[in-house]
């Protein structure tokens, strides 16, 4: 063979090897060797009950957090890894350009610097919990290298705190505000409505004043996506240092977000107060990095975000993005202006600490003191109950201590330190309802005004707080049902939670009423007659609910300006839009089912692997099910997820019942617990929560130490 042919063959071999390396699936096998904790570092035991739910014991709180991490990784390791990648601003390095905005968000908000500065302010106990949780994840990664993502390990306690810090602003819509500022034209912030509550949640509690047997009961019914980084995972955590909590958490969380211990219980629903201010900066025309405040020129801090994007295979490219910072906070520079953003919780990293203190609180006063630290939890309606019979509702938020003389709607002047708020409205000055005479509290992403039987006066609170006034169907129904029963039993409270009725003042009822009252042509006669027979109940056998929900889906797909979770928004739907949507709904149902009146459970499905079940419930019902369209039918993707009902009995004992829409094995398709609770869920049944050790052992499936 001639020399030049050998040379070409050598070049071709090198290129082939490079191509194989570039496109060959990545493995973290070499990266995870030796990252797990040394043997004997932690003393933890995982017990899984007959539903696969982990009950973790640890000698110390840190031991328990380590066991929690390992158990959760067994069920949902990929999502936990994605959570940490997102918190590092490296999601696009694995998942490509579509994830780049998430990474930019992390750099724009200075999440890494915030965590670095906030870490020393956390208590030694909480730092130990975060490090132990990271060690549990690392241990699992070391033992399962083929499941591990390259470039991530080892994770640290800083990553755990960063995951909290990165997610917090998403709950009150900061990403939507930032996205609006990137529009080609200057957005009208003064006309902007609060972000729509796509999914929603319910919480209600009943005190001995209204329960049949002197019980205190709480319904925790947070509506979340059924899969992904904010899907609920159920667990119990117990330590010899007094941590003893059962409930639910998100991937990457070293503590429980909601649930109950032996003394107290609480849950959340999303609220949408005004927690974000956008400042219009007065920029120097001669220097794009200078802005004027109180007559003095200040200089923006200019940095660069190295957004690494996976292009194909192992090929990645780093796209630098400008990052700016002002005395108000992060800055976005656009052709239509330069804007600074200040938001609730900016610079705070204390949510893990706050939730951990809530986990371990055994009185209302201690639980309230954890909230009063105001160093992490940004918002949320909170419902509370305890074994002493106390119930409470709080419209919570880190409300900026804003000057009432300034107009905080729309764009805020960014040329004066007078608008630079620092600090928050004290916890005691927020809208509270504690031990109401009516004996119940409730909230379903609705106004705090109707949280109890007695109306809460919102006039005493600053307008700048942005307290909502809207109602939801769920709130109307919860109030109606709770008010109608002065001696509520556990069974009756459970029935209220699974209620599937639209209030006569709800959006669907209003739309249907308009269609019934009109004359839309002979071709829609059968559809209008069917709507006239609708009883507003979305039970599995109902023949008209499919047409109603398909009508709503058609309106949304047509981009009609209305929010199906808000009462009264039907005013935004014209007659023409409404009739066009009805025709589309009729066509879709006839195409899929050959009829406009299939049983609702035929059109509404819970699908999980090989499991395909009909289900009742619908959007904005107390039994909430939100589905995506698939060839004419709906597959549930969110809504009722982890449902928990807690009962504190007069003797001081606590019991609870729960159900998950799928099961504990989040991503383990081959596990018997991948969908073993789905049948219970569609039948609206709860299972016992085994909280006591004797009950856990009586229903034990397996017991082991992490890694064994």
Give the length of the chain. 708
Model confidence at 369: pLDDT above 50: yes
The predicted model gives 503-519 an average pLDDT of 93
Residue 632 to residue 635: CA distance in whole angstroms = 10
Residue 496 maps to a domain: no
Q: Mean pLDDT score of the chain, rounded to an integer?
A: 92
User: What is the reported pLDDT for 23?
Assistant: 42
Q: In this structure, what are the phi and psi dihedrals at residue 506, rounded to the nearest 5 degrees?
A: -75, 165
- For tokens 């959006």, what's the residue? 507
Band the pLDDT of 567: cuts 50, 70, 90. low
Percent of the chain exceeding pLDDT 90 equals 86
Residue 491 maps to a domain: no
Residue 330 maps to a domain: yes
The secondary structure of 430-466, three-state, reads CCEEECCCCCEEEECCCCHHHCECCCCCCCCCCHHHC
Model confidence at 566: pLDDT above 90: no
Range of the domain at 567: 507-698
Task: Give the Å distances, CA to CA, from 56 to 246, 256, 691.
Answer: 10, 12, 11
Between helices 351-360 and 157-167, what is the axis angle to 10°? 100
Q: In this structure, what are the phi and psi dihedrals at residue 684, rounded to the nearest 5 degrees?
A: 60, 45
In the sheet where 283-284 sits, what is the strand order? 283-284, 287-293, 296-299
Residue 118 to residue 202: CA distance in whole angstroms = 33
Question: Pick the residue with more confidence: 358 or 708?
Answer: 358
User: What is the reported pLDDT for 585?
Assistant: 95
Residue 60 maps to a domain: no
List for the chain the helix, strand, coil content (%; round to 5): 35, 25, 40
Domain boundary among 343, 365, 383: 343
Residue 306 maps to a domain: yes
Residue 499 to residue 204: CA distance in whole angstroms = 13
DSSP conformation class of 615? -
| Cα–chain center distance at 603 | 27
Residue 520 to residue 542: CA distance in whole angstroms = 24
Decide the pairing of beta strands 604-608 and 633-648.
parallel
Residue 389 to residue 350: CA distance in whole angstroms = 30
Residue 382 maps to a domain: no
Model confidence at 399: pLDDT above 90: yes
The predicted model gives 256-283 an average pLDDT of 97
User: What is the reported pLDDT for 24?
Assistant: 43
Band the pLDDT of 328: cuts 50, 70, 90. very high
User: What is the reported pLDDT for 630?
Assistant: 83
Please, are residues 619 and 552 in contact by the beta-carbon 8 Å criterion?
Answer: yes
pLDDT per residue as tens digits for the range 203-224: 999 999 999 999 999 999 999 9
Residue 688, classed as helix, strand or coil, is strand
The reported pTM is 0.94
User: What is the reported pLDDT for 200?
Assistant: 81
Please, are residues 381 and 394 in contact by the beta-carbon 8 Å criterion?
Answer: yes
Residue 302 maps to a domain: yes
Residue 374 maps to a domain: no
Q: Can you give the CATH number for the domain in which 626 is found?
A: 1.10.1400
Quick one: which of 253, 70, 67 has its CA closest to 163? 253
Band the pLDDT of 572: cuts 50, 70, 90. confident
pLDDT per residue as tens digits for the range 109-156: 999 999 999 999 999 999 999 999 999 999 999 999 999 998 999 999
Number of domains in the chain: 2
- Cα-Cα end-to-end distance for the chain: 58
Domain boundary among 296, 325, 343: 343
Quick one: which of 73, 191, 89, 81 has its CA closest to 143? 73
Model confidence at 171: pLDDT above 60: yes
pLDDT per residue as tens digits for the range 649-669: 999 999 999 999 999 999 999
Neighbours of 93 (CB within 10 A): 22
Percent of the chain exceeding pLDDT 70 equals 93
pLDDT per residue as tens digits for the range 302-313: 999 999 999 988
Helices (H), ranges, 378-521: 473-483, 490-497, 507-517
Decide the pairing of beta strands 654-659 and 687-688.
antiparallel
Please, are residues 179 and 276 in contact by the beta-carbon 8 Å criterion?
Answer: no
Please, are residues 411 and 278 in contact by the beta-carbon 8 Å criterion?
Answer: yes
Residue 402 to residue 423: CA distance in whole angstroms = 9
Neighbours of 167 (CB within 10 A): 18
What totals of helices (H) and strands (E) does the chain contain, helices first?
19, 28
The secondary structure of 643-677, three-state, reads EEEEEECCCCCEEEEEECCCCCCCCCCCCCCCCCC
Please, are residues 269 and 443 in contact by the beta-carbon 8 Å criterion?
Answer: yes
User: What is the reported pLDDT for 5?
Assistant: 44
The dihedral region occupied by 460, where left means phi > 0, alpha psi between -120 and 50, and beta the remainder, is: alpha
User: What is the reported pLDDT for 11?
Assistant: 38
pLDDT per residue as tens digits for the range 679-688: 999 999 999 9
Please, are residues 339 and 181 in contact by the beta-carbon 8 Å criterion?
Answer: yes
Model confidence at 615: pLDDT above 80: yes
Band the pLDDT of 16: cuts 50, 70, 90. very low
User: What is the reported pLDDT for 10?
Assistant: 45
Neighbours of 22 (CB within 10 A): 12
Residue 681 to residue 271: CA distance in whole angstroms = 26
Q: Can you give the CATH number for the domain in which 312 is found?
A: 2.30.120.10
DSSP conformation class of 642? E
Please, are residues 149 and 28 in contact by the beta-carbon 8 Å criterion?
Answer: yes
Model confidence at 403: pLDDT above 80: yes
Domain boundary among 326, 343, 360: 343
């Amino acid at each position: 063979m001639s020399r030049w042919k050998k040379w070409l063959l050598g070049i071709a071999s090198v290129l082939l090897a490079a191509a194989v390396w570039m496109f060959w699936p990545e493995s973290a096998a070499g990266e995870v060797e030796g990252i797990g904790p040394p043997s004997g570092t932690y003393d933890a035991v995982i017990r899984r009950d007959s539903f696969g739910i982990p009950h973790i014991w640890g000698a110390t709180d840190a031991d328990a957090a380590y066991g929690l991490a390992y158990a959760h990784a067994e069920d949902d390791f990929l999502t936990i890894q994605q959570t940490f990648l997102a918190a590092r601003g490296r999601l696009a390095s694995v998942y490509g350009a579509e994830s780049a905005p998430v990474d930019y968000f992390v750099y724009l908000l200075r999440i890494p610097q915030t965590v670095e500065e906030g870490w020393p302010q956390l208590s030694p106990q909480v730092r130990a919990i975060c490090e132990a949780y990271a060690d549990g994840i690392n241990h699992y990664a070391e033992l399962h290298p083929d499941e591990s993502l390259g470039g991530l390990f080892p994770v640290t306690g800083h990553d755990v705190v960063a995951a909290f810090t990165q997610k917090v602003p998403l709950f009150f819509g900061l990403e939507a505000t930032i996205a609006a500022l990137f529009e080609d034209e200057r957005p009208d912030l003064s006309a902007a409505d609060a972000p729509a509550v796509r999914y929603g949640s319910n919480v209600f509690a009943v005190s001995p004043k209204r329960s049949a047997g002197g019980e205190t009961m709480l319904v925790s019914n947070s509506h979340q996506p059924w899969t992904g980084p904010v899907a609920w995972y159920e667990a119990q955590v117990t330590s010899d240092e007094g941590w003893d909590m059962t409930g639910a958490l998100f991937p990457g969380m070293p503590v429980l977000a909601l649930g109950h211990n032996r003394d107290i219980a609480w849950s959340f629903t999303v609220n949408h107060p005004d927690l974000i201010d956008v400042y219009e900066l007065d920029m120097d025309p001669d220097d794009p990095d200078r802005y004027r405040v109180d007559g003095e020129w200040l200089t923006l801090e200019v940095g660069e975000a190295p957004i690494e994007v996976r292009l194909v295979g192992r090929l990645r490219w780093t796209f630098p993005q400008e990052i700016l910072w002002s005395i108000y906070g992060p800055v976005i520079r656009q052709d239509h202006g330069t804007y600074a953003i200040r938001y609730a919780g900016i610079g705070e990293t204390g949510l893990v600490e706050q939730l951990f203190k809530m986990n371990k609180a055994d009185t209302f006063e201690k639980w309230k003191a954890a909230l009063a630290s105001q160093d992490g939890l940004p918002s949320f309606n909170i419902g509370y109950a305890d074994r002493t019979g106390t119930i409470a509702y709080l419209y919570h938020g880190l409300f900026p201590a804003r000057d009432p003389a300034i107009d905080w709607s729309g764009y805020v002047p960014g040329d004066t330190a007078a608008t630079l708020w620092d600090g928050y409205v004290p916890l005691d000055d927020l809208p509270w309802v504690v031990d109401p005479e009516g004996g119940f509290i409730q909230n379903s992403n609705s106004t705090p005004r109707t949280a109890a039987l007695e109306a809460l006066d919102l006039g005493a609170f600053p307008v700048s707080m942005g307290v909502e006034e809207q109602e939801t169907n769920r709130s109307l129904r919860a109030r109606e049902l709770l008010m109608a029963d002065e001696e509520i039993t556990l069974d009756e409270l459970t029935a209220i939670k699974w209620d599937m009725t639209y209030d006569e003042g709800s959006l669907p009822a209003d739309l249907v009423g308009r269609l019934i009252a009109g004359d839309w042509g002979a071709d829609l006669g059968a559809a209008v007659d069917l709507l006239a027979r609708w009883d507003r109940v979305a039970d599995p056998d109902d023949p008209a609910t499919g047409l109603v929900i398909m009508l709503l889906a058609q309106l949304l797909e047509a981009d009609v300006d209305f929010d199906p979770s808000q009462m009264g928004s039907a005013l935004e739907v014209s007659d023409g839009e409404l009739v066009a949507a009805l025709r589309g709904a009729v066509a879709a149902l006839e195409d899929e089912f050959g009829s406009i009146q299939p049983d609702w459970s035929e059109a509404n499905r819970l699908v999980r692997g090989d499991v395909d079940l009909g289900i009742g419930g619908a959007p904005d019902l107390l039994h909430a099910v939100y589905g995506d369209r698939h060839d004419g039918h709906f597959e549930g993707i969110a809504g009722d997820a982890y449902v928990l009902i807690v009962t504190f009995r007069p003797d001081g004992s606590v019991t609870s019942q729960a159900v998950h829409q799928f099961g504990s094995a989040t991503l383990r398709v081959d596990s018997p617990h991948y969908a073993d609770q789905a049948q219970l869920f569609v039948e609206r049944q709860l299972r016992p929560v085994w909280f006591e050790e004797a009950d856990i052992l009586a229903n034990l499936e397996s017991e082991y130490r992490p890694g064994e």
